[in-house]
Structure 1
Amino acid sequence: MVADSGPHLSDLGRAFRLDPEVLQILRDGLPQVATHTVNAVVAEVPDYRGARDGLMRDTITGAVRMALAGFLKLAGRGHDVDPSTPMGPTIEGAYALGRGEARGGRSMDGLLAAYRVGSRVSWRELGRVAAGAGLSATMMAEFAELLFAYIDGLSAASVAGHNDELTTSGLVRQRYRDRLVQRLLAGASPEVLTAAAERAGWSPSVGLTAVLLPSAQAHGVVALLGTETLQFAEDLPGSEGWDPDRSLTLLLVPDATAADRRHLLRLLVGRKAVVGPSRPWMQARSSYRRATRTLELATPPRGEQPTDSEDHLADLVVGADPEALIDLRVQVLRPLSALPESTRERLAETLLSWLLHQGRREQVAAELHIHPQTVRYRMGQLRDAYGERLHDPRFVRELILALPLCCRH
């Protein structure tokens, strides 16, 4: 519901009061005035040119008749209407017209043009009838002032209705989109996801890429990415491990090609974002999970570049089961367990470098900043501890997986 359009209408209505006889003459001519006004609107306003008959014509006719009847009620106050009675029904009708335009996906341009045409034609027709009824020049000027102020009030009510409908429908659409994201993250069935997308008014894309970033940065990014980007910020895991002072927002960004991904990464430069892989839209949960795992394992970017999960695949694979990795570390270091911890760490570091440099002693020495003879001495200790297992490909693989964890300081 909307209130009266403003005190100016009531004030003018009280100051200007038509004689009952003139008022009745105007009422008798109202059907003809309405017909001329409707014909002019349909002929002159492009948005309504197709309304020669049918539902739209009926809607326009009803709106014009209600508006004209409301105006005569305003002009006749003091005779047959309580002056304190608001112009509620007429204002409500104008408000509903604005909401209807928004629901139909139309801007206010057409309706405001219709108001302009309607005010011109209705003044011409009503003025002609009023002049024929003997209204003085002063009264005619006040009559015109009241009519145009009245039309302005109706226009304002329609604009308010249009804005309110857009706001309300936007909130409703966002709620449906939130539910769509929830179902995507829950791995719902294709039937459920298709229905959810339809209710949300969202057109499925070829693929979706999950992006996690601070909520404060999300709005600006969505403005760059477009309205088909889905966003969700409720109860997202991982934010406490990355930035405890800021909440995270999930964006599901439509994409189709590698070029789309490169464009996305460029847009995210300078933002603390983590980007998952592209996945078919019904498998967006996979991209989200990858992004959250990258968030947990990777250090958030402090420079200009976002964190791309594609650059951390090895870390993700190795860190898939942290407890298993710890157990593997204990297992591969067991032959060194009798040594002091500092010695054990130095030997583990040397062994990892030896394996990665494929036994090139000079390169190992350069990386560890030690003498090549020190490398030879340490490798002698390691061969004594591990024996032929250092030539077992399977055990070497286990060493390469576990030793980086041992050698992190």
Structure 2
Amino acid sequence: MRVMRDATIITGPAGSTEAATVALLHADVLGSAAEMVREIQEQVPEYAPSGRHDARALRRGVDLALRRYVEMLDQHVGRGAPGGDWREIYRAVGAREMRAGRSLESLHAAVRICARVASRRLRAFAGRQALPPTVVAWLAEAIFDNIDEVARASAEGYAQAQEVQAGELDRRRRRLVEVLLADPPPSQRALTAAAAAAHWHLPRRLAVVVVAAPGPLSQPPLLAPEILSTFDDVEPCLIVPDPEGRAQVRALINGLARHHAAVGLAVEPMDAGKSLRWARLALELAAKGRIPRRRVVWCADHLATLAVFQDEALLTALAERRLAPLDGLREDKRRLLAQTLLAWLSCNQNANEVATHLHVHPQTVRHRLRRLTDLFGEEIRDPRLRFELELALRAFTT
């Protein structure tokens, strides 16, 4: 405060005049609260009488700033003792405004209105009291020093409250992900409560996207608020509500650099765990070559394979049992005959179609089929065993 720190003004020959002036100004300053509140309500929509605010809280905030201004004047003319930690009080005001859902811009607009009303009333007071210019100058500067302090401290409190709220919301969103992906699935009541706490609208359907990453992503992509994520986990994933099409999901995955991902089937929220399980299985099968390894694997494109490989240990046991006749052969011969047998079963036992599919002569196919008949007997034509044999062959040949 440049003018107020001038000792000739505060303690010089005019000091007694200034002290008397401050005493006269008290009532005028403290009496301006109603005018300030009225103009704030008229000019700032968020503080309008019909808006989302507590008129009493607005009046308390204005009274607080006015009392601080009077206290500043008293201290500089030697009338009052130092007050409390006003900055901390102003920070609390800023935090309260944030929690009430009002913007920082609206709060600062209200502060500026207070400054204009105070300046207008000071000019009128100065005219009535015939105050010298130097006294008017330090009184005016005190107004703006006080307003600056209110604005700075309230902004600090607002930002601190935002950080706390963001951290709490993040914690609640994490909890929601845990509830959604829980095994066994959550009750509808628990899921609804977790979604409400996280301010997340429960969608009609959702899909889980699992990312094949060696660990937590160092730079997770920026996501829309409705998309839940666990990018700091060992197995990062996204929960995409109401996926409207592949373009939408692909656009999300494009932000994951070169990582591979699998997109689970769209399911009701209660079944999110199933979508996660299918996406995990798709990534695993792609890594093993059971399904084509692409940057994005869509579970919807591989339903039969996913169904077959739900229990790979059981499938292995089936293959060991049904393909036992091939055990005594060399690996290359064994694989060749297995591929031929699978093609023959898939092509409705038509040797010519098998030849076209395998790019060999039909006579070659017939020669292999005779060898297969020697090994398997009539089992290869038994309709009751065909399904199991085909499953075993698909597991063996992929």
- The one-letter amino acid of 1:404's match is R
Secondary structure in 2 aligned to 1:194?
helix
8 Å contact from structure 1 (residues 184, 285) kept in 2: yes
Is 1:265 the counterpart of 2:241? The answer is no
* 1:150 paired residue among 143, 146, 151: 146
Question: CA distance change for structure 1 residues 55 and 194 in 2, over 3 Å: closer, same or farther?
Answer: closer
Counterparts in 2 of 1:177-326, with a 5 A limit? Answer: 177-186=173-182, 187-213=185-211, 216=217, 219-220=220-221, 222=223, 226-233=224-231, 235=233, 247-255=234-242, 260-268=244-252, 270=254, 272-299=260-287, 306-326=296-316
Q: Which residue of 2 aligns with 1:243?
A: none
Quote the offset at 1:44 in angstroms: 2.9
8 Å contact from structure 1 (residues 205, 254) kept in 2: yes
Deviation per CA, 1:127-163: give whole Å up to 9, x if none: 4334544532123223322322321221122222222
CA distance in 1, matches of 2:109, 2:137: 23
CA distance in 2, matches of 1:55, 1:376: 86
- The one-letter amino acid of 1:353's match is A
**4+ aligned runs moved over 6 Å, structure 1:** none
Q: Which residue of 1 aligns with 2:382?
A: 392
Quote the offset at 1:169 in angstroms: 0.9
CA distance in 2, matches of 1:129, 1:51: 33
Q: Which residue of 1 aligns with 2:331?
A: 341
Secondary structure in 2 aligned to 1:14?
coil
* 1:57 paired residue among 55, 58, 61: 55
Q: Which residue of 2 aligns with 1:88?
A: 85
Q: When the two structures are aligned, how many residues end up with a matched partner?
A: 377
Quote the offset at 1:396 in angstroms: 1.6
Q: Which residue of 1 aligns with 2:369?
A: 379
Question: CA distance change for structure 1 residues 370 and 103 in 2, over 3 Å: closer, same or farther?
Answer: same
CA distance in 2, matches of 1:154, 1:80: 23
8 Å contact from structure 2 (residues 42, 48) kept in 1: yes
Give 5+ residue unaligned stretches, structure 2.
none
- The one-letter amino acid of 1:209's match is A
Counterparts in 2 of 1:21-60, with a 5 A limit? Answer: 21-50=20-49, 56-60=54-58
Quote the offset at 1:382 in angstroms: 0.9
Quote the offset at 1:369 in angstroms: 4.3
- Bigger RCO of structures 1 and 2 (CA < 8 A, at least 6 apart): 1
Deviates more, 1:17-26 or 1:173-182: 17-26
Deviation per CA, 1:88-115: give whole Å up to 9, x if none: 22x3333223222222222223222211
Q: Which residue of 1 aligns with 2:95?
A: 99
Q: Which residue of 2 aligns with 1:164?
A: 160
Question: CA distance change for structure 1 residues 265 and 383 in 2, over 3 Å: closer, same or farther?
Answer: same
CA distance in 2, matches of 1:349, 1:51: 77
Deviates more, 1:333-342 or 1:315-324: 333-342
8 Å contact from structure 2 (residues 325, 375) kept in 1: yes
Deviates more, 1:347-356 or 1:69-78: 69-78
Deviates more, 1:312-321 or 1:27-36: 27-36
Secondary structure in 1 aligned to 2:241?
strand
Secondary structure in 1 aligned to 2:202?
coil
Deviation per CA, 1:378-397: give whole Å up to 9, x if none: 21111112221111113221
- The one-letter amino acid of 1:397's match is F
Q: Which residue of 2 aligns with 1:5?
A: none
CA distance in 2, matches of 1:369, 1:49: 80
Question: CA distance change for structure 1 residues 203 and 191 in 2, over 3 Å: closer, same or farther?
Answer: same
8 Å contact from structure 1 (residues 41, 114) kept in 2: yes
CA distance in 1, matches of 2:303, 2:126: 83
Secondary structure in 2 aligned to 1:339?
coil
Secondary structure in 2 aligned to 1:279?
coil
Deviates more, 1:369-378 or 1:105-114: 369-378
| Identity percentage of aligned residues | 33
Deviation per CA, 1:276-299: give whole Å up to 9, x if none: 111112222221222122222224
- The one-letter amino acid of 2:331's match is E
CA distance in 2, matches of 1:385, 1:302: 34
Secondary structure in 2 aligned to 1:188?
coil
CA distance in 2, matches of 1:51, 1:92: 30
Quote the offset at 1:370 in angstroms: 3.7
Q: Which residue of 2 aligns with 1:14?
A: 5
